Structure 1
Amino acid sequence: MPQLILNPWFYILVVSWAIFLTIIPSKIMKHYFNNEPETTSTYKPETNAWNWTWH
Protein backbone atom coordinates (compact mmCIF):
# COMPACT_ATOMS: atom_id res chain seq x y z
CA MET A 1 0.00 0.00 0.00
CA PRO A 2 1.55 3.35 -1.00
CA GLN A 3 0.17 5.12 2.08
CA LEU A 4 2.68 3.30 4.27
CA ILE A 5 5.71 4.50 2.33
CA LEU A 6 6.99 7.57 4.17
CA ASN A 7 9.12 8.84 1.36
CA PRO A 8 8.29 11.52 -0.06
CA TRP A 9 5.10 12.17 1.95
CA PHE A 10 6.83 12.72 5.27
CA TYR A 11 9.18 15.24 3.68
CA ILE A 12 6.24 17.09 2.09
CA LEU A 13 4.46 17.16 5.45
CA VAL A 14 7.50 18.53 7.28
CA VAL A 15 8.23 21.18 4.66
CA SER A 16 4.63 22.33 4.46
CA TRP A 17 4.38 22.68 8.26
CA ALA A 18 7.69 24.54 8.30
CA ILE A 19 6.26 26.98 5.77
CA PHE A 20 3.01 27.34 7.73
CA LEU A 21 4.84 27.97 11.01
CA THR A 22 7.56 30.33 9.80
CA ILE A 23 6.74 32.26 6.64
CA ILE A 24 2.96 32.58 6.58
CA PRO A 25 2.35 33.91 10.15
CA SER A 26 4.79 36.77 9.67
CA LYS A 27 3.04 37.80 6.46
CA ILE A 28 -0.41 37.57 8.05
CA MET A 29 0.52 39.48 11.21
CA LYS A 30 1.61 42.48 9.11
CA HIS A 31 -2.04 43.01 8.18
CA TYR A 32 -3.55 42.84 11.67
CA PHE A 33 -1.83 45.71 13.45
CA ASN A 34 -1.25 48.24 10.71
CA ASN A 35 -2.99 51.10 12.57
CA GLU A 36 -1.71 52.38 15.87
CA PRO A 37 -4.39 52.99 18.52
CA GLU A 38 -5.25 56.62 19.15
CA THR A 39 -6.16 58.27 22.41
CA THR A 40 -9.83 59.03 22.81
CA SER A 41 -10.88 62.59 22.27
CA THR A 42 -12.45 64.65 25.05
CA TYR A 43 -14.63 66.46 22.48
CA LYS A 44 -18.27 65.52 22.76
CA PRO A 45 -20.60 66.56 19.96
CA GLU A 46 -23.64 68.59 20.90
CA THR A 47 -26.78 66.49 20.97
CA ASN A 48 -30.25 67.90 20.54
CA ALA A 49 -33.36 66.30 21.92
CA TRP A 50 -36.03 65.44 19.42
CA ASN A 51 -39.23 67.36 19.78
CA TRP A 52 -41.98 65.00 18.62
CA THR A 53 -45.42 66.39 18.17
CA TRP A 54 -47.83 63.56 18.90
CA HIS A 55 -51.45 64.16 17.89
Structure 2
Amino acid sequence: MPQLNPAPWFAILVFAWLIFLTIIPPKILGHSFPNEPTPQSTQKPQTESWTWPWH
Protein backbone atom coordinates (compact mmCIF):
# COMPACT_ATOMS: atom_id res chain seq x y z
CA MET A 1 0.00 0.00 0.00
CA PRO A 2 2.16 2.89 -1.24
CA GLN A 3 -0.18 5.63 -0.06
CA LEU A 4 0.83 4.90 3.54
CA ASN A 5 4.46 5.82 2.82
CA PRO A 6 4.64 9.49 3.90
CA ALA A 7 8.09 10.19 2.47
CA PRO A 8 7.24 11.55 -1.01
CA TRP A 9 3.90 13.12 -0.04
CA PHE A 10 5.24 15.01 2.93
CA ALA A 11 7.94 16.61 0.74
CA ILE A 12 5.31 17.58 -1.83
CA LEU A 13 3.17 19.09 0.93
CA VAL A 14 6.08 21.08 2.35
CA PHE A 15 7.16 22.42 -1.04
CA ALA A 16 3.60 23.35 -1.96
CA TRP A 17 3.21 25.32 1.28
CA LEU A 18 6.57 26.99 0.77
CA ILE A 19 5.38 28.15 -2.63
CA PHE A 20 2.06 29.34 -1.21
CA LEU A 21 3.66 31.22 1.67
CA THR A 22 6.71 32.76 -0.04
CA ILE A 23 5.98 33.35 -3.72
CA ILE A 24 2.26 33.98 -4.04
CA PRO A 25 1.57 36.58 -1.24
CA PRO A 26 3.95 39.26 -2.59
CA LYS A 27 2.39 38.86 -6.03
CA ILE A 28 -1.11 39.31 -4.64
CA LEU A 29 -0.15 42.20 -2.33
CA GLY A 30 1.63 43.95 -5.20
CA HIS A 31 -1.66 44.74 -6.93
CA SER A 32 -3.00 48.24 -6.58
CA PHE A 33 -6.69 48.84 -6.17
CA PRO A 34 -8.25 51.60 -8.28
CA ASN A 35 -10.71 52.75 -5.63
CA GLU A 36 -8.76 53.59 -2.52
CA PRO A 37 -11.02 54.43 0.41
CA THR A 38 -11.06 58.06 1.46
CA PRO A 39 -11.26 58.92 5.14
CA GLN A 40 -14.65 60.20 6.20
CA SER A 41 -15.10 63.13 8.52
CA THR A 42 -16.05 62.39 12.11
CA GLN A 43 -18.53 65.26 12.30
CA LYS A 44 -22.21 64.44 12.08
CA PRO A 45 -24.03 66.13 9.22
CA GLN A 46 -26.50 68.78 10.29
CA THR A 47 -30.03 67.61 9.60
CA GLU A 48 -32.96 69.97 9.39
CA SER A 49 -36.55 69.09 10.09
CA TRP A 50 -39.09 69.22 7.33
CA THR A 51 -41.20 72.33 7.01
CA TRP A 52 -43.91 70.62 4.99
CA PRO A 53 -47.48 71.02 6.16
CA TRP A 54 -49.03 67.73 7.20
CA HIS A 55 -52.60 67.71 5.84
TM-score normalised over the length of structure 2:
0.54
Number of the residue aligned with 1:25: 25
Number of the residue aligned with 1:7: 7
Aligned-residue Cα RMSD (Å) equals 3.7
Counterpart CA distance in 2 for 1:35 and 1:11 is: 41
Aligned residues: 53
Residue identity matched to 1:26: P
Question: Identical aligned pairs, as a percentage?
Answer: 64
For structure 1, the 5+ residue unaligned runs are 40-55
For structure 2, the 5+ residue unaligned runs are 40-55
Shift, 1:35, TM fit: 7.3
* Paired residue secondary structure (1:31): coil
Number of the residue aligned with 1:16: 16
